[in-house]
Amino acid sequence: MKLYKRKQGDKAPLGQPDPYILKGNDGRYYIYATDGQVYSSNDLLSGWEYEGIRLEMPGQKICWAPSVLEINGKYYMYYSSIDEKNEDEHGQQIRVAVADVPEGPFEYVKTMLPPFSIDAHVVKTPSGMYMFYCNNDYEAERAGTRIMCDKMKDPFTMEGNPVCALPPTIDEEIYMKDRFKKGQHWHTVEGAFYFYYEGRHFLMYSGACYQNPTYFIGYAVAYGAEDEDLRNLKWIKHPDNDSYEPLLRKNEFMEGTGHNSLIFENGKCYIVYHGRDYGDNNLKEDTRSARIDELVIDGEKLSVSMIP
């Protein structure tokens, strides 16, 4: 189900790519999307309002995939952007901005990782804070973008001992064939979202390029105590590392389904992700819109129940 439809005279963009959902300490729900867009609602499933572009990032351009974490009443936005004068498409770096209220404005504080680094998801666990993020591996057998995990000393500082949590493993994760050199197909596994539920660790992700027919949301499962160092987990994609069995992919009414976040509310779990109505790809704007459906968790198996 689409979360937001642009109203006549509204200045909001058509799309909300890479939506991240959060319930603020004011009781309202917030969605943060690429370009620093912010939306809010008192009702999870309706009444969403456009708050505007609420990220201040002087000297930077091209904001991607913000995620927000509340710590002691402050809101920390982790996002990636490129230095204003940098023309390298892989110049993205993960940075952090801070706000006093969930709707922002968020003010840039620090650059946390070097290029290329994108798609941060920072989580608080019994063993500390961790960041899942993506960088590139040019030398792997399946070269491409992969998901990393590192522990954090505080909201602004990485420990500096990252491990690869989830690499590409299948052809359906190919972003582009012969992208940088002949014979080397470029793969992409990105958009990590981590959560722990009833004795299992889950790591959700997007595979391939949002314009490719195989683009999808998948997930991996790991076993370990809730207070386990997340870098020690052994992740297995569902149903295994060699099979393509998406949680979400294009269907009869939308395509480009990817980059999700979750929220647990009213005894249910909801998945928020972007998808594009068929035919919208020809428009000049990015039309990947934020959508919400119910996520069903049955042991180690996840499924999506569409909301009409």
Angle at 231 between CA 227 and CA 233, to 5 degrees: 75
Q: Express as a percent the part of the chain with pLDDT over 70.
A: 99
In CATH, what is the architecture of 20-305? 5 Propeller (2.115)
| Angstrom distances, CA of residue 10 to CA of 27, 45, 52, 69, 279 | 25, 20, 10, 28, 22
Using DSSP, state whether 259 is helix, strand or coil. strand
Main-chain phi, psi angles of 253, to 5 degrees: -125, -10
Q: Could you give the CA distance from residue 246 to residue 239 in angstroms, rounded to a whole number?
A: 9
Cα–chain-centroid distance for residue 274? 10
**pLDDT(261) > 80:** yes
For residue 17, pLDDT over 90 is answered with: yes
Give the model's confidence band at 282: pLDDT under 50 very low, under 70 low, under 90 confident, else very high: low
Give yes or no for residue 209 having a pLDDT over 70: yes
Any idea what the Cα angle at residue 96 is, between residues 94 and 97, rounded to 5°? 140
Arithmetic mean of pLDDT, 36-45 = 97
> How confident is the model over 75-98, as a mean pLDDT?
97
Confidence of residue 7 (pLDDT cuts 50, 70, 90): confident
Banded pLDDT at 281 (limits 50, 70, 90) = low
Domain edges within the chain: 20-305
* CB burial of residue 227 (10 Å; 0-12, 13-18, 19+): exposed
Identify whether the C-beta of residue 156 lies closer than 8 Å to the C-beta of residue 76. Answer: no
pLDDT digits (tens, 9 = 90+) for 102-130: 999 999 999 999 999 999 999 999 999 99
> Helix or strand or coil: residue 228?
coil
Decide if pLDDT at 92 tops 80. yes
Neighbours of 276 (CB within 10 A): 24
In which region does residue 248 sit, left (phi positive, over 0), alpha (psi from -120 to 50) or beta (all else)? beta
Per-residue pLDDT, averaged over 140-158, amounts to 98
Tell me how far apart the alpha carbons of residues 90 and 156 are, in angstroms, rounded to a whole number.
22
Mean local confidence (pLDDT), 160-181 = 97
N residues, the chain: 308
Burial class (CB in 10 A: 0-12, 13-18, 19+), 24: middle
pLDDT-derived band at 217, boundaries 50, 70, 90: very high
Residue 227 has pLDDT above 70, yes or no: yes
Mean pLDDT of 220-237: 98
Global pTM exceeds 0.95: yes
Rounded mean pLDDT of 22-48? 97
